């Protein structure tokens, strides 16, 4: 798992090395494409001019596009694309823009008011998803939920998730599984410093947090933490590391502004290597998922299994009105992959950033730990039943979501009709990107937006929630396409963060006075995985008893 960033960065460097050649190839393709698409492009302009007579609003501001290819040349020259888009908007002093890539109008938004207009006032008009090579591949042809366009398949799968998989009742049913993984986390961290508890031990926090998230969702979906034997200290084995690395690589590439997403005629040429990377990593994920799914289906069909123990069992046991399996094998595989992908990144990233920020601001960490000591004490470990009383701890996690989102943008929303947003014309088929990065750091909304300050989320009466309905930042998406797994994501995030704080004192490694908070050059994660000094702070007997129980479970 600690190799995940290095793997993604190596892919990025290879892509950058080939960008100049890609750019030359694109120029040649542009000439050919111009001749091929000239007629249809002119027809589009004719239709567009006819429509422009029927509305009085202009497109949002943006760079002037080339014919046919739009601003793809500029995009290729300015990687990473999210940084280029945000710089364009800053230079134009706008909170909504229009950047045409190929024939698609890409509409980035950094203003909460405009975001609410999109996902609340006109939610239905922006309820579709883009048809990209990456999303087609990952969803096995749009058989699951999140990446699928609206329609019967989406309605079917979403209903299953809401009523059968991620309902409050199912969330309670899987409590023991989540608790087992939380206990394993503490035991694993203790193993990193038990040789000298007074001095502590160095912990790769990114590995630990990603390992925790992978364990939680594997336990809930497959009723197992490990695909292989795991490690004696409770850490990830080779199989789990490969699985998590593949998941994070897929998440990095699934909406990564690939040329062929905006010029579908280029699909198959794989000019930037995206298709190869995605296929390789989806194959890795399938290598671990598919045999378990196929064997479990066989067990149910042969009568060897008739009790539901995990999400996989639930999906297999679903029946239609005639008593036949409701889901095909491919639908089950696609939905399982989507659930796993949706569970691993946000909680782990938020916890890593929060610990890093708090090491550099020890007063904040002290206040959070004092709350844990007051509510929970030192004779037991924090439980989900304690969450309602941990307002400051939740405020710290919420602040990490605001300031340090995992992805620069949310999953694109596609407009299903011509409409108007913020007095700008938004054509049908536009891809709207809500900027998780700039919404949470908008100086018009947040005082000192680049400072980690949990107190901003506290009030005298309201319970601190990780969701943000007013879209001043995005932790869990909202609206018709909103996140179905809010309860699971919230529980995973708070438990992970609270166990890290309650179980251990955290500080910068020996010889360093602070943690480097620079962001990655290719994303919003820490540039380097957080490695911190952890010292056990609870009675030693508590850790030993916990480890003994896990070893005998």
For residue 505, list its beta bridge partners. 535
Residue 414 near residue 365, CB atoms below 8 Å: no
Residue 418 near residue 56, CB atoms below 8 Å: no
First to last CA, the chain: 25
| Residue 19, Cβ density class (10 Å: 0-12 exposed, 13-18 middle, ≥19 buried) | middle
Question: Which of 372, 391, 468, 417 minimizes the C-alpha distance to 127?
Answer: 417
The DSSP bridge pattern shows strands 424-426 and 413-414 to be unpaired
What is the rounded CA–CA span in Å between residue 311 and residue 434? 31
Q: Which residues contact residue 82 at a Cβ distance below 8 angstroms, ignoring those fewer than 6 apart?
A: 408, 409, 437
**CB atoms closer than 10 angstroms to residue 69:** 23
3-class SS letters over 302-343: CCCCCCCCCHHHHHHHCECCCCCECCCHHHHHHHHHHHHHHH
For residue 202, list its beta bridge partners. 533
Query: Number of C-alpha atoms within 13 angstroms, CB side, residue 391?
Result: 11
Residue 419 near residue 412, CB atoms below 8 Å: no
Binding residues: 483
The SS3 call for residue 435 is: strand
Binding residues for heme: 483
Q: Which residues contact residue 24 at a Cβ distance below 8 angstroms, ignoring those fewer than 6 apart?
A: none
What is the rounded CA–CA span in Å between residue 536 and residue 355? 15
Residue 342 near residue 216, CB atoms below 8 Å: no
């Amino acid at each position: 798992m600690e190799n995940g960033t290095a793997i993604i960065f190596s892919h990025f460097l290879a892509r950058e090395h080939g960008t100049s050649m890609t750019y030359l190839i694109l120029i040649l393709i542009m000439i050919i494409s111009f001749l091929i698409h000239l007629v249809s492009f002119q027809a589009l302009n004719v239709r567009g001019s006819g429509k422009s007579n029927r509305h009085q609003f202009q497109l949002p501001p943006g760079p002037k596009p080339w014919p046919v290819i739009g601003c793809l040349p500029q995009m290729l020259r300015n990687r990473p694309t999210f940084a280029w888009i945000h710089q364009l908007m800053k230079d134009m002093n706008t909170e909504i823009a229009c950047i045409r890539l190929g024939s698609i109008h890409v509409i980035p938004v950094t203003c909460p008011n405009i975001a609410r207009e999109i996902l609340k006032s006109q939610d239905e008009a922006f309820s579709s998803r883009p048809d990209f090579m990456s999303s087609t591949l990952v969803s096995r042809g749009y058989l699951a939920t999140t990446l699928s366009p609206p329609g019967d398949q989406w309605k079917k799968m979403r209903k299953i998730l809401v009523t059968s998989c991620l309902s409050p009742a199912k969330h309670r049913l899987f409590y023991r599984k989540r608790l087992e993984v939380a206990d394993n986390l503490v035991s694993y961290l203790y193993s990193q410093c038990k040789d000298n508890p007074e001095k502590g031990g160095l912990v790769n926090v990114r590995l630990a947090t990603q390992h925790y998230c992978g364990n939680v969702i594997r336990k809930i979906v497959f009723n197992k933490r490990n695909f292989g034997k795991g490690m004696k200290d409770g850490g990830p084995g080779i199989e789990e590391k490969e699985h998590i690395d593949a998941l994070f690589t897929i998440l990095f590439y699934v909406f990564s502004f690939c040329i062929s997403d905006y010029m579908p005629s280029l699909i198959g040429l794989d000019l930037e290597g995206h298709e190869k990377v995605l296929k390789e990593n989806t194959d890795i994920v399938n290598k671990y998922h598919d045999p378990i799914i196929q064997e479990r289906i066989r067990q149910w069909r042969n009568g060897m299994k008739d009790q539901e123990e995990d999400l996989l069992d639930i999906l297999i046991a679903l029946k239609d009105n005639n008593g036949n399996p409701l889901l095909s094998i491919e639908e089950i595989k696609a939905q399982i992959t989507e659930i796993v992908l949706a569970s691993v990144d946000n909680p782990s990233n938020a916890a890593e950033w929060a610990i890093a920020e708090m090491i550099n601001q020890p007063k904040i960490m002290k206040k959070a730990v004092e709350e844990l000591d007051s509510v929970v004490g030192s004779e037991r470990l924090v439980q989900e039943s304690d969450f309602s009383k941990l307002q400051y701890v939740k405020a710290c996690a919420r602040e990490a979501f605001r300031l340090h989102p995992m992805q620069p943008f949310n999953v694109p929303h596609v407009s299903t009709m011509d409409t108007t947003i913020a007095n700008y014309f938004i054509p049908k088929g536009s891809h709207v990107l809500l900027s998780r990065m700039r919404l949470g750091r908008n100086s018009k909304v947040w005082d000192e937006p680049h400072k980690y300050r949990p107190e901003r989320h506290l009030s005298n009466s309201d319970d601190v929630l990780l969701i943000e309905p007013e879209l001043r930042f995005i932790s869990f998406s909202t609206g018709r396409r909103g996140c179905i797994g809010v309860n699971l994501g919230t529980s995973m995030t708070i438990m992970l963060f609270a166990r890290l704080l309650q179980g251990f004192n955290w500080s910068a490694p020996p010889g360093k006075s602070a943690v480097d908070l620079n962001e990655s050059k290719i994303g919003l994660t820490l540039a380097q995985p957080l490695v911190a000094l952890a010292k056990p702070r609870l009675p030693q007997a508590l850790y030993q008893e916990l480890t003994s129980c896990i070893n005998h479970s």
